[in-house]
Amino acid sequence: MKQLLRNAPFRRLFLGRLVTNAGDSVYYIAAMWLVYDLTGDPAVSGLAGFLSAAPSGLQFLAGPLVDRWNLRRVLVGTQLLQFTLILAIPAAAALGHLSAPLVLVVMPLLSLTNQFVYPAQSAALPRIVERDELVSANSLFSLAYQGVDAGFNALAGVLIAVVGAVTLFLVDAVTFVVAAVLFAGVVVPPSNRTGDSSSAGAGESDGAVVADGGADENGESDDIDGKPSYLTSRREGIDYLRGTVVTYILVSAVGVNFASGAALASMPAYADSLGGASVYGALMAALAGGMFVGAVGASKAESIPFGRLSVASFSLSGLLWLASVVAATVFDSVAAAVVLFALTSIPVGAFNVLMAALVQSIVPDGLLGRVSAVLGSVASVAVPLGSLVVGVVAGASSPAVLFYGAGVAMVCLGGYWAAVPTLRRMPPVAETETLNV
């Protein structure tokens, strides 16, 4: 990993990711708690979770644009736009017009902007590191995502109790500016892998390559050269994945993400019943901290058959999740619940890194933005639907019921991987050469 950090483009991309994720962590905790604090209604928290997660289902629409546009400009532009949006909250508070509807408008707009950021980062990564460095590079990116989440989720929970949620939006605004400066120095080299044809395999390139996606440094689109239209480009990302093992993986992700979306949207009310904003921050920090540990250790698991590793990982995660809810609701031990919640996400963190490395090492550069966007859309589309369930269940039951449901869903996911031969027999990531079944 030290060698990776000597790579200047990777270092700037990594540091930018580190800073912007710190801002995202603070923003999400502050926004979800602020909505709950302004209304006292877990159903509205569920709506907030839905509005925040729903744009993720549209990420596949951003993929073709990411593959065409200058990647550096995408990264910088999104940060500056988010800076502008986030300032609306403290400005409204200063003018005495802060309301839950305003927060509910800002949340999906910020999330929609983010749908361009992560496909752009995924598309840039294999161009600035070697293939055999992808697992380590994704581990570091997960460190930026999960490690920062762990610290800043906990910090946000404490700061909400001390200075209030609105102040945290000002902190978030600063992080977007810093990230924009870092991304401005990232130079993505030309693609050196073919694959931007309409075939599901790796079609022949015409030999022309450009830096930073499908646009040159002057921002010129390649449509004038007879390249595929936006709709054709978008379809290519979907066609590439059709009939591959990823289809089976996404089916499993939809179910568990539905349950997880419901549980996480009810987190403010769940945490409030256990102790308030500080408990909310602690639980979110535990979730991110476990993901961070799993991401760091992912490289040690790349030689283990991916199928068997996934069966064990999801089954264990589900049991630990259930144990965490039992510790909180039956034994009234918040500390034990937090520790078990952290352990729950360690296997998931490792899985996410290995899955990202698998896709990035096989999918051609010219399709990577589109494929990453399709994966992000399908995997996350059930999260907002799960969040809406909170509004129905919260009135008839308690948030704990949703947490039990998420644990059961995770155990079932492990069973699904064990029952589907195509998934169960997947070889180690390091030995996988194709996504085809």
pLDDT in tens, 179-210: 999 998 887 776 654 444 433 333 333 333 33
Q: Tens of pLDDT along 142-162? A: 666 656 666 676 677 677 777
Most confident of 110-124, 233-247, 315-329, 370-384: 315-329
Place of tokens 């999801």: 314
Is 220 domain-assigned?
A: no
Count of domains observed in the chain: 1
Q: What digits encode the pLDDT tens for the residues 379-437? A: 666 777 777 766 666 556 677 887 888 889 889 989 999 999 988 998 888 777 777 76
DSSP per residue, 24-66: HHHHHHHHHHHHHHHH--HHHHHHHHHHHHGGGGGHHHHHHHH
Residue 128 lies in a domain: yes
pLDDT digits (tens, 9 = 90+) for 218-233: 443 444 445 556 566 6
Distance CA 111, CA 408 (A): 28
Distances in Å between the Cα of 264 and the Cα atoms of 16, 119, 303 are 26, 24, 32
More confidently predicted of 5 and 269: 269
SS3 195: coil
Residue 199 in any domain: the answer is no
Residue 218 lies in a domain: no
What's the pLDDT at 359?
77
Report how many helices (DSSP H) and strands (DSSP E) the chain contains, helices first. Answer: 21, 0
- Would the pTM count as exceeding 0.75? no
Where in the sequence is the domain holding 399, given as residue range(s)?
A: 2-190+230-431
Residue 297: inside a domain: yes
CATH code for the domain of 78: 1.20.1250.20
Beta-carbon-side half-sphere exposure of residue 152 (alpha carbons within 13 Å): 24
The answer to the question of residue 264 being in a domain is yes
How many other CB atoms are found less than 10 A from the CB of residue 398? Answer: 16
Q: How many residues does this entry show for the chain? A: 437
Least Cα distance to 297 among 36, 1, 65 occurs for: 1
Q: Which residues pair with 244 in a beta bridge?
A: 436
User: Whole-angstrom Cα distance, residue 218 to residue 207?
Assistant: 20
What's the token pair of residue 345? Answer: 């996400």
Q: How far apart are CA 142 and CA 15, in angstroms?
A: 12
Mean pLDDT calculated for residue range 4-25 = 82
pLDDT of residue 153: 66
Q: 401 near 407, Cβ under 8 Å?
A: no
User: How many whole angstroms separate alpha carbon 425 and alpha carbon 403?
Assistant: 31
Q: Is 181 inside any structural domain?
A: yes
Whether 222 is covered by a domain: the verdict is: no
Taking each helix axis as running N to C, give the angle between helix 134-142 and helix 346-362, from 0 to 180 degrees, rounded to the nearest 10: 140
